[in-house]
Chain A
Amino acid sequence: MSKTGLVFFPAFDWAISPTHPEREERLLYTRDQIFEEGILDQGRIIEYKPRLAAEKDIQRVHFCVPDLAAQTTTAHFISAGSALKLGDALMAGEINNGFSLVRPPGHHAMRVVHGNRGFCNINNEAILVEYLRKKYGLRKIAIVDTDVHHGDGTQDIFYHDPDVLFISLHQDGRTLYPGTGFVDEAGGPGAYLKNINIPLPPGTSDEGFLKVWREIISPLLQSFHPELILNSAGQDNHFTDPLANMQVSAQGYARLTEELKPHLAVLEGGYAIETALPYVNMGILLALAGQDYSWVIEPQLQKQQIKQSAEVSRYVDKLITYWQKILSQLPPSKEELYGQTSIYTNQRSIYYDTENIREQQQEYLHYCPDCLGLYQVISQSDRTSGRPGYLIEGISIPIYACSACHEKGYQLWEEAKKKRKGHFCYLQDKKEDRYLVHKVI
């Protein structure tokens, strides 16, 4: 009998604030539905106890400003640790797949963390990916993000990593937070077309959702040959979600899960806590466990038409044609994309909606013919009420760095420590699993 692992961590004693969507009540009805069904008694679904992630697991992914304690609570450590727990169970062969049904979520958390963005502080999937790579030597991992919001945090973290294929399908950024996730954000020069955005029009239903999966994502996954598939299982594409405008049902989510066959699914957003979450979570769990989900029908569904308009269908078809065309062509090489320069630079501004912080970033990617190359970031957050601004520099040595880059990373680190008076420097040596923070005096 194949087994599905479940870590259920509703964090009944944690909220951003009492009336915030990310509050204690969020998974209450999901708990009710899953427990009431009695499906945990059948032996197919094994429930695991959540655990805490280690500080190192988080540092492997993030530069938390000024430090971990400022950006995390125990709930974050447990939420991230729960995914790791299932990762271990999967690698030990105890389970065939798993669902980390936890809060708080993480997919809006980027590499540099100055505060909470889109209810997220640390990125659970990214922490899982880096953990599995470090501990088990996995290399190629695909992440499919089915939250209605663009997974901008995950995109940011793996933007220059050709070993991680990140695919996000979401409501078009012109109509929804965080306002990114367009088709031209397709990966850095060393990882071009390893970041695929599928911005769907408002009003897309099961039909468009599944069509995009079958005609873009599924062939893409097949040609990538991932060793592992992860699903950022946000549930706010649901037709009752209060924060977005899509028309997907529990059946649509369950069907996608059944066909995608993720090894691990991690809950992200979804704030229709009564009308969507109990049913969508149930659908996903049953689909993972290979059980019949056809009875999981929301009570509202009969009353509401969720058929997508002809206009939406036309738009979805155009999107499919676009991606099919791009993906059928031979992509330009890394050298062509770098062009004459040996350092790719990118300047941008990032907004933290929850805490009203604005961050200015300058990114540098150092070209290397032998590995991903060093990543360097200089970031400044503005001063907001009750919070000082920070200027930081982060240097990241990739996990499979060549020895020249590894050495050069430490040189950059020594230089950084000299120049940034009064501020913080971070070194992320993923190769040696060593993480350093330095406050320059």
Chain B
Amino acid sequence: MEIGIDIGGTFTDGVVISGQEVLKSIKVPTGADLSLSIERALKQIMKGVKPEQIQQITLSTTLMTNLVVQNNLAKGGLLLIPGPGANPYQGKFPCVYKVLRGGVDYRGRIIEHLEMTEVEEACTYFLGKQVSQVAVACKFSQRNPVLEEQIIQYIQEKHPEIRVLASHKVSGLLNWVRRANGAYFTLTTREACAVFQENIKVTLKKLGLQCSVFILKADGGTLPLEVSLHYPLETIFSGPVASTLGALACTEEHITAVVIDMGGTTTDIALLLDGKPLLAERGAFINDYPVPVRSLAVTSLALGGDTPLLLENSQLVLGKRQGPALCLGGPLLTVTDLLVYLGYSDIASPQLIAAQVEKMACALQLTPQQFSDQVLALLWAKVEGELEKMFKSWEEEPAYRIWQVLSTQENRPQTMICLGGPATGLGEFWRKKKGWKVIIPAYASVANAIGAALAIPTLKLELFADTERNTYTTSEGGRQGVLSASLKNTEEAKEFALKLFRQIARERNLTEDTAWETLYEEGFHLVRGWQTTGKIFQIGLQTVPGIRAFLKEEAPYV
């Protein structure tokens, strides 16, 4: 049996799943203290369940999102070693920073050495500003970390009061701005993450749970709780991931569909393509700052069941949430009220708000039917606009190889999975208007917790090996090192990549037989003066994305 828990802004949902069946589901209000909310949810769900029956718990938490988006971070700074290229003062960095001399090039060769006096000056500057957490980021540090390491060593010796972290330890992604920001956020959330982890451990002990615990990641995979302490950023934005995976679990393996999750105030839109959630092309952004995290391509609209319907200059407009729906005692007529009026929702009696709907229709010189159509059309126009953007960016994903240009002519989805109360009614409208197939899963209200419970660990490894310089680096895991034996061809390089892949997989509690696939494998001849002097290999491997199981329950189709 597995437990999935998703902590949302308003509710914390939990499920117990056995094989392909949901045995139990719960919903409790989310409190201010995250650890406490988890404890409450776990206690409730464990009622009548023996602790030893539980093999695994997966949590989708808002911890990182809360810390980072609300800027509850320790005070930190950045030391940047840009070398030649774009002006570093125009880069998107979230904190105070100092730019230092020094440089590494794309092959990992040092092109300029550090000036240690500059490092010392920077330390004085940071300490003067009470900044005692400093992340260090050098362009191409993943190809050669030595400049970052020299700075770290210097600061640890001379200024032990400053806590430091090198960007190459956080990620090997080819994007130094993302690595720098990743190191900064990792460093400044580390303490809060450690406290959270301790709290969880205490809770588990209290409840007699000895199973392994995983945290849901932004890319739809999971990380062991202990490992997540090193890569806390990867657990950000897991909420939409949980519901998208939940939607997948309630349908079928190769589904291609749009997933719409509509809550009271926001609507999340995601895409499932052949059973795999679409990932954001370049990665996640935190408050507009790019970070080295693969995340789902999710669009959030400030639109939901509580969105009020307003009249402005005798025009119908959608306003900002003022409270719950009128039929639930709120102040204004909302989207939910309209759905109740039309009979798409039965949370309240239509009599409660009929007069208000008719009054507003009358003010617009429309029949209630015309008025309702207009509201739904207005709503869907917004959703459709976002969908169009998502489709376009999916279709425009760059391709750097001939086979990629040739192989990605895909068709847009014609199926929609609706989650969340208001989405149900709106789905019906969409089906009528567009002729799409609309699916409303039986467990729509706890799809997020189901998604968390059924998520599997993911790992993507990109190896870059340079046999002329005898070095290699990996993206995820941020590893670099010396090639002990020269790689002669692409097959040997792939073998080597697979070895590293399995090592990192073990650290992340993946089993030996985890299914993996090749993303690309290529070798480049290094030719200098018409002589081949070495080779560069690029190998991309990843675990086959997906979920552990699909629920047996036939999803009711509209």
The reply to whether B405 and A52 form a contact with Cβ atoms under 8 Å apart is: yes
Known contacts: A36-B139, A296-B84. The answer to whether A9 contacts B400 by CB under 8 A is: yes
Chain A window 36-50, contacts with chain B (Cβ cutoff 8 Å), 1 for yes, 0 for no = 111111100001111
Query: Which chain A residues in 257-316 approach chain B with CB under 8 Å?
Result: 274, 278-279, 282, 286, 291-299
Name A34-89 residues within 8 Å CB distance of B: 35-42, 47-52, 74-75, 78
Q: How large is the interface on A (under 10, 10 to 19, 20 to 34, 35 or more residues)?
A: 35 or more
In contact, B527 and A299 (Cβ under 8 angstroms): no
A23 to B405, CA, bound (A): 18
Instruction: Please report which residues of chain A, range 397-414, place their CB below 8 angstroms from some CB of chain B when the two chains form the complex.
Output: none
B532 within 8 A of A: yes
Beta-carbon contact of B400 and A37 below 8 Å: no
| Given the contacts A36-B176, A296-B85, A298-B84, A31 and B400 also touching, CB distance less than 8 Å | yes
> Contact between B395 and A49 (Cβ–Cβ < 8 Å)?
yes
| Segment 367-411 of B: residues with Cβ below 8 Å from A | 395-403, 405-406, 408
A48 touches B398 (CB 8 A): yes
When chains A and B are docked, how far (Å) is the Cα of A297 from the Cα of B527?
A: 24
User: Is B90 a contact partner of A292 (Cβ separation < 8 A)?
Assistant: yes
Q: Which residues of A contact B82 (CB under 8 A)?
A: 295
Chain B 399-440, CB-CB to A under 8 Å as 1, else 0, gives 111110110100000000000000000000000000000000
Asked if residues A36 and B174 are in contact (CB atoms below 8 Å), the reply is: yes
Question: Count of chain B residues with Cβ under 8 Å from any Cβ of A?
Answer: 47
Contact in complex: A49, B398 (CB < 8 Å): yes
Q: A13-B402, A19-B532, A299-B111 are in contact. Are A33 and B290 (CB under 8 A)?
A: no
CB distance from B185 to the nearest CB of A (A): 15
How many angstroms from the CA of A51 to the CA of B405 in the assembled complex? 7
Contacts A13-B403, A78-B405 given: A282-B86 contact, CB under 8 Å? yes
Task: Determine if B140 is an interface residue (Cβ-Cβ < 8 Å).
Answer: yes
Given that A28-B524, A48-B396 are known contacts, is A41 also in contact with B84, CB under 8 Å in the complex? no
Would B527 and A11 count as touching, CB distance under 8 A?
A: no
Tell me, in angstroms, the Cα distance from A296 to B83 when the chains sit together.
Answer: 9
* A37-B86 in contact (CB<8A): yes
0 or 1 for each of B57-91: is its CB under 8 Å from A? (1 = yes): 00000000000000000000000001011111011
Contact A33 B85 (CB under 8 A): yes
Residues of B within 8 A of A18 (CB): 525, 527, 532
B residues less than 8 Å from A52 (CB atoms)? 405
Pick the residue among A49, A74, A294 that contacts B397 (CB under 8 A).
Answer: A49
- What are 19 contact pairs spanning A and B, CB under 8 A? A12-B524, A12-B538, A13-B401, A14-B402, A25-B536, A28-B524, A32-B174, A33-B85, A36-B106, A36-B174, A38-B91, A38-B175, A41-B285, A49-B395, A49-B396, A74-B406, A78-B405, A297-B84, A299-B112
Measured CB to CB, the residues of B under 8 A from A are 82, 84-88, 90-92, 103, 105-107, 111-112, 139-140, 174-178, 282, 285, 290, 395-403, 405-406, 408, 522, 524-527, 530-532, 536, 538
Closest 7 A-B residue pairs measured CB to CB? A38-B177, A32-B106, A299-B111, A292-B87, A41-B290, A25-B524, A35-B174
